[in-house]
Amino acid sequence: MNSGTLDTTHSGTPPDRNPAIELRGASKVFRTPSGAEHTAVRDLDLTVGRGEFVAVVGPTGCGKSTTLTLVSGLEEPTEGEVLIGGDPVTGIRPEVGFVFQQDAVFPWRTVLSNVMAGPRFRGVPKAEARERALDWLGRVGLAAFADRYPHQLSGGMRKRVALAQTFVGDPSILLMDEPFSALDVQTRALMSDELLELWGGGRPGGTAASVVFVTHDLEEAIALADKVVVMTAGPATVKEVFPVRLPRPRKVESIRLEAEFVEIYREIWSSLGEEVRITRERGADRVA
Ligand SMILES: Nc1ncnc2c1ncn2[C@@H]1O[C@H](COP(=O)(O)OP(=O)(O)OP(=O)(O)O)[C@@H](O)[C@H]1O
């Protein structure tokens, strides 16, 4: 039988073809303590497809974090629109997970209790929250550290706790603001590999989260992402978007030695370097 509307789900509703995240002409103006207006983000258009890993790079202080704040729903745009799955963002949404540079752990709680906290807050029964948390602690290699307190862990281990805390909420959108920048170089590369493994994108039939990853590190951006968005010197707007067609699965330490990687790096740096130079000339990198 031909229903004439084969493009439907089992429930009969048409599949949602909207991108995961869309910013359309988004601007954000802050009022500074002196009462002046400061434009942090200007007329910004950005689309993140479902399951896509997007890295955002730009000079210091240009407005990268503000862009994430708009997607998170923590701030509203002064102008323009921010959409998740085609719906305007009006506040913090349960399907959005965050990982920041600073660890968001309760120092007085054990690792297990920290990872359970999110699901418990969302009303998941204790036994189930514990089971899910232990599962994710296993996946990030911290099963043996469930009873430790955060101060008893290394920086890399604390970052694994942060990843478990985030992934346990099963986010379909993942916002990451320089999550690994406080780590040493080797741990950082290791964490990048682990993130790609946990994210699981690029696999056939995968249901990976859509990621926006803000970083200062262009190598990190290219190694991780499906596309790299270069922001202008502040106020931030999108200058150029570069697709990264390196094959997955990737290992960040080896991929950066490949000729294609070096070529992409050179191309993106010629765009980004110009904005970094403009920012330096303004002296903004000393006051941001
Ligand atoms: N709540 C706020 N009130 C006033 N100004 C703000 C606020 N948040 C950010 N700004 C300003 O907006 C600009 C952009 O800041 P933002 O943190 O988004 O930049 P960034 O690119 O993430 O910086 P960095 O690379 O240093 O992390 C900066 O000049 C900053 O001082």
Tell me: the pLDDT tens digits for 229-273? 999 998 999 999 999 999 999 999 899 999 999 999 999 999 999
Q: Atom of ligand 1 at shortest distance to CA of 60?
A: 25
pTM score: 0.90
Alpha helices (H) in the chain, listed in sequence order: 64-72, 111-121, 126-139, 155-167, 185-199, 218-224, 252-255, 259-282, 284-287
Ligand 1 pocket, residue 203 CB under 6 Å: no
Q: Which amino acid is at 124?
A: V
Instruction: Compute the distance from residue 97 Cα to the ligand 1 centre, in Å.
Output: 21
State the pLDDT at residue 6: 45
Tell me which residues of the chain have a pLDDT lower than 70: 1-16, 202-206, 284-288
pLDDT tens digit sequence for 121-131: 989 999 999 99
Instruction: Compute the distance from residue 65 Cα to the ligand 1 centre, in Å.
Output: 7
Q: Are 69 and 77 in contact (CB under 8 A)?
A: no
Q: Are 210 and 174 in contact (CB under 8 A)?
A: yes
Ligand 1 pocket, residue 64 CB under 6 Å: yes
State the pLDDT at residue 11: 54
State the pLDDT at residue 186: 86
Q: Atom of ligand 1 at shortest distance to CA of 38?
A: 5
Q: Which amino acid is at 35?
A: G
Ligand 1 pocket, residue 59 CB under 6 Å: no
State the pLDDT at residue 56: 98
